[in-house]
Structure 1
C-alpha cells in the first residue's frame, strides 16, 4: 500500500524545495487544528442522539401529514412530496449542524417516497415510476448539498435506469449500460483530483460511490438471484452472456490499471506493467461466468490507488462474495473443486513470490 506522508513531512519537503516559507508549518498546523476542533468539538454520542432526535421529530411530522392529507389522494401525495423535498433542500442550504442536516435528510427522503409512490399509484405504471425516480434523483444529485443524499441519489437513479431499461425489454442495453456506469465510476476515481477542483467538486465522490454500489448490487442480483433477476425481463428479452459482460468489465479494469501505472510513472510495457495486465487478463478468463470477480478486482485496484478504506472494504467483501458464487457455479465434483481451489491458491502464492523477487521494492514497508 502507498505510504501516506504526515503533515510535517509534506510541509518540510515543500519548505526544502522553496515552495512554502519557513513559517508555513505553523500556519498549516493552526489550520489543521481549527478544522479538527470544528469536526470533533461534539462527542460522537451527542451527534448520534441529535441525529436520532431529528429523525424522530420528522417521522412524527410526516405521519401526521400523511394521515391528514394524502391518504387515498395520489395527487396530494405528489404535491406534498415535492414540497417536502424542496423544503428539505432549502433547509439544508440554511445550516450545517447535525440536527438540521439529519432533519432535512429525513424529511427529504420521506418527500421523495411520497412523490414516487404517488406517481406509481396515480399512473399505475412501473415504467413511469422508474422514470420519475431517475428524473427526481438526477435533479437532487446536483441541487441537494449533502453527501449522503447525493450518494443515495446516484444509487437510486442508476438502479432505476437499469430497471427502466429492463422493463422496456432492452436486456442487451441493460448490460451495456452497466458497463457504461462502470466506466463512469472508474473515471470519477481516476480523475478525482481534477474533478474536485471544478464546479461540482462535492458531487464527484458521492456519485462515484453510488455507481460502485449500483455495479455490485446489479452483479449480485445477476449472480446469486438470477431467476428473480431474469424474471424482471419481458418475455423474449435477451441478455448478454456472462462471458461477454466479464470481458467488457475486464477491459474497463485493464484501462484503469494502465492509467494507474501511467500516473505512478511505471512503464506499461515494462515487467511490472506486463505482469499486472497478464494477471488481470488471466483472472477475467478464469472467471468468465462470474463477472463480479473482475469487477471487484477493478474496484480493489482503485481503492489501493486512492487509498480509500471504504472502497477497499467494499471490494474485499464483494470479491469474497463473488468468489463463493464462482465456486458454486463450477460444474465440477467436490473433489475437482477442491483441486481447483488448491491449484489457484498455489498459483497466487507463486505469483506473489515472483512479484516480490522480480520487484523487491514492493516488499518494503515504510
Structure 2
C-alpha cells in the first residue's frame, strides 16, 4: 500500500461498491503501521552495512586464528551461520535481530564460498551454488532482510557467470530481461501481492532488491571500460527494450495524471522519444529514467530517490566519457535540462489542476 490516505480511499470505494462489506479500519491501520515500522528500508540497509562490516571483521579473525586452513571447518561453520541467519530472522522480527541475522547470513556466505574454493571448485560452480543457496534462503526465510540480500546475491552471481565465461553479449540479454521483470513487478503490484500471502510478504524486499540490482549492473558496466568496448556492438538492445518499457509505463501514467486527449498523449510520446533517443548507446540513463517513472507511478519514494541519484551519476559519467569539446557537452546538457524542465512543468501543472478538482 502507498499511504494511509489511499488505504482510506480504497476502503471507501469498496464500501460504495458493496454496502454489505465492512472493514475493521483500526486493525487495518494498525497492521499498516506495524509493517511501516518493521520494513523501513533505511534501517534495513544500515543493518546490511553493519552485517557487512561485522563479516569483514570476522573473516579477518579467521585468518588470524588459522581456522582458514581447515576446509571442513569452514564448510561446516559457513553452513551453520547461513542456517542460523535464516532462522533467527524468521523467529524474531526486530531491528537488533535483523542485524544479527544479516551478519550471520553474510558471514556464512563468505565462509562457505571460501570453503568451496578451497575444495578446488571452479568459479562457475561456486556462482551456481551461491544462486541455489540464495534462492532457497529466499523461499524458506521469507523475511525482509534475507530476501533483500538473497536477491542481490542471485543477481551478482549471474553477472559473475557472464563475465567469468567472457560471454559479454549476454549482459545485454540479462539487462533486457531485468528491465522487463522490474517493470512487471511495479505495474502488476496489486495482482502479485494478491496471488498468495507469501508473495505479499516478499514483494517489498524483492522489489527494492531488483531495483538496486538493475542499477548496480549499469554501474558495473560503466566502471569497466574494457567491458564497454568489447560489448558495444549490441549495447542498443537493452536500450530499445527499456525505451519500450518507458512508453508502456507512460500509458499507465496517463491514467494517473488523467490525460485523455490523444493530442496530449502523442505530444508526450514524441517529446519522450526525443529525450530517449540520444541515450540509445547509454542504456543506463534510460534505465534510471525507467526506475524514476515506475517509482512515481506507484508512489514509491525510496526507489524514486535511488533512481534520481542513479540518473545524476549516469548522466555525469556519460558526459565525462563523451569525446566532444566542452562547448558541445555544455550545449547537450543545456538542451537536456530544458527538455526535463518542460516535462516537469507539464506534469506539475497537471497534478496541480487535478488537486484543485
TM-score by length of 2: 0.80
Matched residues in 1 for 2:191 and 2:10: separation?
20
Matched residues in 2 for 1:51 and 1:158: separation?
17
Counterparts of residues 123-134 of structure 1 (less than 5 Å): 123=120, 125-134=122-131
Matched residue, 1:249: 242
Matched residue, 2:220: 221
Shift of the 261–319 alpha-carbon distance from structure 1 to 2, 3 Å rule, reads same
Matched residue, 2:266: 274
Matched residues in 1 for 2:11 and 2:4: separation?
13
Matched residue, 1:157: 154
Counterparts of residues 30-49 of structure 1 (less than 5 Å): 31-33=28-30, 36=33
CA deviations 1:251-275 (Å, max 9, x no partner) are: 23223333554688866x9234323
- Give the gaps of 5 or more residues in structure 2: 39-43
Matched residue, 2:292: 300
- Segments of 4+ moved more than 6 angstroms: 37-41, 50-69, 262-265
Shift of the 119–265 alpha-carbon distance from structure 1 to 2, 3 Å rule, reads farther
Matched residue, 1:333: 325
Mean Cα deviation higher: 318-327 or 84-93: 84-93
TM-score by length of 1: 0.78
SS at match of 1:92: helix
State the shift of 1:108 in Å. 1.9
CA deviations 1:205-226 (Å, max 9, x no partner) are: 3222212211211112222x13
Shift of the 21–284 alpha-carbon distance from structure 1 to 2, 3 Å rule, reads closer
Q: 2:110 aligns with which of 109, 113, 117?
A: 113
CA deviations 1:185-235 (Å, max 9, x no partner) are: 111111111111223222223222212211211112222x1336469xxxx
SS at match of 1:289: coil
Counterparts of residues 1-366 of structure 1 (less than 5 Å): 5=5, 11=11, 14-19=14-19, 24=23, 27-29=24-26, 31-33=28-30, 36=33, 70-123=67-120, 125-199=122-196, 200-223=199-222, 225-227=223-225, 229=227, 238=231, 240-261=233-254, 270-350=262-342, 355=346, 361-364=350-353, 366=355
Mean Cα deviation higher: 4-13 or 153-162: 4-13
Task: Check conservation: 2:78, 2:111, Cα contact below 8 A.
Answer: yes
Matched residue, 2:41: none
State the shift of 1:306 in Å. 0.7
Question: What count of residue pairs does the alignment treat as equivalent?
Answer: 347
Mean Cα deviation higher: 29-38 or 274-283: 29-38
Matched residues in 1 for 2:14 and 2:253: separation?
24
The structure whose Rg is larger is 1
Q: CA RMSD in A?
A: 4.0
Task: Check conservation: 2:176, 2:237, Cα contact below 8 A.
Answer: no
State the shift of 1:78 in Å. 1.7
State the shift of 1:141 in Å. 1.6
Shift of the 100–337 alpha-carbon distance from structure 1 to 2, 3 Å rule, reads closer
Shift of the 4–312 alpha-carbon distance from structure 1 to 2, 3 Å rule, reads farther
